[in-house]
Amino acid sequence: MNRYTILIYTENFIGILNRITIIFTRRGINIDALTASESRLEGIHKITMEVSVTEQQMVHLAGQIEKIVDVIKAYYFKDDEVVYQEIALYKVPTESLDPGLEKVIRQFNAHIIAAEKEFVVVEFTGHKQDTQALLEILKPFNLLEFSRSGRVAIAKPKFSVQEYLNNQTYNH
Amino acid sequence: MIRGADIVVKSLIEENAEFIFGYPGGAIMPVYDALYDYSDRIKHVLTRHEQGAIHAAQGYARVSGKVGVVLATSGPGATNLITGLADAQIDSTPLVCITGQVAAHLLGTDAFQETDVVGLSMPGTKWNIQVRRVEDIAPAIAKAFLIARSGRPGPVLVDITKNAQVEFGEYNYVPCLGVRSYRPYVKIDQSAVNAAAALIDAAEKPYVLFGQGVILAQAESELKAFLDKTGIPAASTLLGSGALSEEHPSYVGKLGMHGNYAPNLLTNQCDVLIAVGMRFDDRVTGDLKRYAKQAKVIHLELDPSEINKNVACTVAIQGDCKDSLALLTAAVKENSHESWMDRFRELEKEEKEAVVIHDLHATQGGLHMGEVIHIINKFKEDDAILVTDVGQHQMIAWRYFDYKTSRTQVTSGGLGTMGFALPAALGAQLHDYSKQVICVVGDGGIQMTIQELGTIMQTKAPVKVVLLNNNYLGMVRQWQQLFFDKRYSFTELENPDFIKIAEAYKIQARKVTEREDLEAAVAEMMLHQGPFFLEVVVEKEDNVFPMIATGCSVEEVRLS
């Protein structure tokens, strides 16, 4: 089993995410994390998924994903082939700031992005083990809420969806 | 400005749809109202159940090579299509299904006959879409036809809300020529062709397996040219039957669980395996761990996701096999493989003695299913179409029917849908009234869609229905006998008087129980002008052999 980051470029089409996820459901494969947003190219969406599967499964899954009519391209990468980040938000009681919390925030180079009378929201980005480490530390500070995103990722190998789109379709 | 419903019908006519197989209901009524005005330009066939409609469209599509069109209402009308969608998806049959849907403002409110058809049909369609505005109808239908028929064909569903059907909009039909995210064809990689040709030229015991991809690509003559030049033995999958005439010298038989002895056994003795337009289904390969491990595998396949899916190949030639076969034929040397071919012929003799004589030439005891097919062969034209259901009769009919031309085999392969045959035969017959369409069914399967006798009655489609009745769910019973200690758990059927049922539908019918009456009855059926229903009571506990049991290797194919 390897951990893969799958980058999927799709048309902005209702139901496309469903079409992709049922491929995993059918095979009993869990999607560990998922992020979807518009890509750099207008009208083209980028879905980033994180899964743990064998290489053979990954090849098969990518084939099934690319087979979807509204999928433009699907790429997959092992962890060392991508630069990735996850964002985490932590809601802690304002009264917990003193003492100790300030030191933790400095150590982690995290940010307070909102402060209310009752609570502050701390933002921290990194890999899962980093955001998880901060989570463990903040728990004793009466952590009120925690939210973590899926991966956003940039692949190290070069590829261009734009170039792919510019290429002429081969007509039979 | 015209109504959305008229746009639906005009768009279908624009796509040269000849038939619509359908069933009306509330949410599709505006389209039915529009159809009333176009009955001279497009024929609607009213089936007795939506499942019948979609299977009829499949039968039509499979024999014509055109897109089958289905029309159904929302809710239960649409859910009744699901089996046919799954069947068409796994067997790569081009369909465009149009379903009515509740008005857009009612979506998600559990309105009467509302169901999430787009969600339900997603895994069983190549593409689907919901249309909620009149201006989106024609582009959606244009895109649907392109997607259904191009590349590896498949079923597509367009769900149209009722408000879109009754609103007025501009009509200007523009055929869809391409979808930027969908590129089904690729240029053939000549280096892969050269690599494959080198393997083929060096091979001592090369072996071709061909599937329905050859038929879908209309590559029958390219396959024949390749075999003529190389002299390589070639075997067919279930859905590939007909792509090559069984009289061709290269033809050695059928693959799979109930295929022929030699083609299965020798898969594990060839040195180069050339798979053309087939997907190494588990019913063909048996145990994959012991499948053709000695061979180098060349795979000619359009769908990239099929390459290396089940069997790892040495050389993949991705692309339409009409193109790749032509290139490969040009690249290989002329050759012959007589001693290798002799191995097939020797084993064919063994099969003949062990199985075929029992199946076709019995002189006493109950009638065998094979005898019926054997006699049908005597009366059939070369281009007669055989439509079968699923079970023992399907395997027997496939084994013994003489396939001479392409698109003469219609059966539910991948999904194994009982109830497929009767409506599919109707659809096949409607495409061409002048062709013989023989529908072979079992007593189990026919009762799943027997209501379509009504559609045969109403359309007067001259389908020849041959019911092989053993009063059992025979294939399940065979497995119970062989693998479940003869515990015949719920497989025996108490059946109705089928002849009375056929006659109630005003279809001429005849029942045969004795061997000496069989030929005359088949002759009567085949010469009859209209539809005919022939029931043949066959041996109750007969088995289909050869057989590769589940989990076994192709070389463990058994003759008894």
DSSP B333-371: PP---HHHHHHHHHHHHHHIIIIIHHHH---SSSPPHHH
pLDDT reported for residue B65: 98
Chain A positions in Cβ-Cβ contact with residue B186 (cut-off 8 Å): 170
Q: What is the pLDDT of residues B40-75, one digit of tens each?
A: 999 999 999 999 999 999 999 999 999 999 999 999
Reported as a pLDDT band with limits 50, 70 and 90, residue A163 is: confident
> Which residues in A136-155 are b (16+ Cβ under 10 Å) and which e?
ebbeebebeebebbbbbbee
Which entry of B66, B126, B143, B162 is annotated as an active-site residue?
Answer: B162
Chain A positions in Cβ-Cβ contact with residue B127 (cut-off 8 Å): 69-70
Q: Flag whether pLDDT at B194 surpasses 80.
A: yes
Q: B308 to chain A nearest CA, in Å? A: 8
- Asked if the C-beta of A11 comes within 8 angstroms of chain B's C-beta atoms, the answer is yes
Least CB-CB distance to B305: which of A22, A63, A169?
Answer: A63
Cα(B31)–Cα(B39) distance, integer angstroms: 12
Q: What is the pLDDT of residues A46-77, one digit of tens each?
A: 999 999 999 999 999 999 999 999 999 999 99
Q: Which of A20, A69, A167 to mutate to test the interface with B (most CBs of B within 10 A)?
A: A69
Q: How far is residue A56 from each of residues A52, B40, B286, measured CA to CA in Å?
A: 12, 54, 20
B187, A60: Cβ pair inside 8 Å? no
Residue B530 exposed, middle or buried by CB count within 10 Å (0-12, 13-18, 19+): middle
pLDDT reported for residue B84: 98
- Residue B363 has which token pair? 């002189």
3-class state of residue B236 by DSSP: strand
B122, A19: Cβ pair inside 8 Å? yes
Q: Flag whether pLDDT at A170 surpasses 90.
A: no
Chain B positions in Cβ-Cβ contact with residue A162 (cut-off 8 Å): none
Active site residue B113: yes
Q: Domains along chain B?
A: 2-169 (3.40.50.970), 190-341 (3.40.50.1220), 366-537 (3.40.50.970)
- Asked if the C-beta of A22 comes within 8 angstroms of chain B's C-beta atoms, the answer is yes
Could you tell me what percent of chain B has a pLDDT over 90?
99
Amino acid at A141: F
The nearest alpha carbon in chain B to A71 belongs to B181
The stretch A127-153 carries a mean pLDDT of 95
- Asked if the C-beta of A163 comes within 8 angstroms of chain B's C-beta atoms, the answer is no
- Asked if the C-beta of A70 comes within 8 angstroms of chain B's C-beta atoms, the answer is yes
Active site residue B15: no
Strand arrangement, sheet containing A33-38: A33-38, A44-53, A2-11, A71-78
The stretch A94-119 carries a mean pLDDT of 90
Q: Mean pLDDT score of chain A, rounded to an integer?
A: 93
A18, B179: Cβ pair inside 8 Å? no
Active site residue B50: yes
Least CB-CB distance to A69: which of B123, B182, B323?
Answer: B182
B303, A66: Cβ pair inside 8 Å? no
The nearest alpha carbon in chain A to B143 belongs to A69
B126, A170: Cβ pair inside 8 Å? no
B305, A170: Cβ pair inside 8 Å? no
Q: Which of B15, B10, B83, B18 is nearest to B52 (CA)?
A: B83
Could you tell me what percent of chain A has a pLDDT over 90?
85
Which entry of B43, B113, B348, B519 is annotated as an active-site residue?
Answer: B113
Q: Domains along chain A?
A: 2-82+153-166 (3.30.70.260), 85-150 (3.30.70.1150)
Q: Mean pLDDT score of chain B, rounded to an integer?
A: 97
- Asked if the C-beta of A60 comes within 8 angstroms of chain B's C-beta atoms, the answer is yes
A·B CB contacts under 8 A: 53
The stretch A21-25 carries a mean pLDDT of 97
- Asked if the C-beta of A91 comes within 8 angstroms of chain B's C-beta atoms, the answer is no
Interfacial residues of B (vs A; Cβ cutoff 8 Å): 118-119, 122-123, 126-128, 130, 147, 150, 178-187, 303-305, 308-309, 320, 323
Chain B positions in Cβ-Cβ contact with residue A72 (cut-off 8 Å): 180-181
Q: Flag whether pLDDT at A171 surpasses 90.
A: no
- Residue B135 has which token pair? 């201006």
Q: B64 to chain A nearest CA, in Å? A: 20
B122, A59: Cβ pair inside 8 Å? no
pTM value?
Answer: 0.96
B309, A60: Cβ pair inside 8 Å? yes
Least CB-CB distance to A63: which of B127, B180, B304?
Answer: B304
The stretch A137-141 carries a mean pLDDT of 92
A69, B181: Cβ pair inside 8 Å? yes
Question: Is the complex ipTM higher than 0.95?
Answer: no
Q: B182 to chain A nearest CA, in Å? A: 5
- Asked if the C-beta of A128 comes within 8 angstroms of chain B's C-beta atoms, the answer is no
B119, A60: Cβ pair inside 8 Å? no
Chain A positions in Cβ-Cβ contact with residue B182 (cut-off 8 Å): 69-70
Active site residue B451: no
- Asked if the C-beta of A72 comes within 8 angstroms of chain B's C-beta atoms, the answer is yes
Indicate left, alpha or beta for A112 from its phi (over 0: left) and psi (-120 to 50: alpha): beta
Q: A14 to chain B nearest CA, in Å? A: 8
Cα(B533)–Cα(B352) distance, integer angstroms: 31
- Residue B403 has which token pair? 């396939």
- Asked if the C-beta of A15 comes within 8 angstroms of chain B's C-beta atoms, the answer is yes
pLDDT reported for residue B98: 98
Q: Flag whether pLDDT at B132 surpasses 90.
A: yes
Reported as a pLDDT band with limits 50, 70 and 90, residue A97 is: confident
The nearest alpha carbon in chain A to B148 belongs to A69
Q: Which of B126, B181, B185 to mutate to test the interface with A (most CBs of A within 10 A)?
A: B181
pLDDT reported for residue A164: 86
The stretch B495-502 carries a mean pLDDT of 98
Q: Which of A76, A79, A78 is nearest to A159 (CA)?
A: A76
The stretch B526-550 carries a mean pLDDT of 97
B119, A70: Cβ pair inside 8 Å? no
Amino acid at B198: A
pLDDT reported for residue A172: 60
Least CB-CB distance to B127: which of A63, A69, A172?
Answer: A69
Q: A85 to chain B nearest CA, in Å? A: 28
B168-169 and B206-210 strand pairing: unpaired
- Asked if the C-beta of A71 comes within 8 angstroms of chain B's C-beta atoms, the answer is yes
Chain B positions in Cβ-Cβ contact with residue A166 (cut-off 8 Å): none
A14, B123: Cβ pair inside 8 Å? no
Helices (H) and strands (E) in chain B — how many of each? 23, 20
By the 8 A CB rule, do B99 and B74 touch? yes
A66, B181: Cβ pair inside 8 Å? no
Reported as a pLDDT band with limits 50, 70 and 90, residue B240 is: very high
Q: How many beta carbons lie within 10 A of that of residue A43, not counting itself?
A: 8
Q: What is the pLDDT of residues A28-43, one digit of tens each?
A: 999 999 999 999 999 9
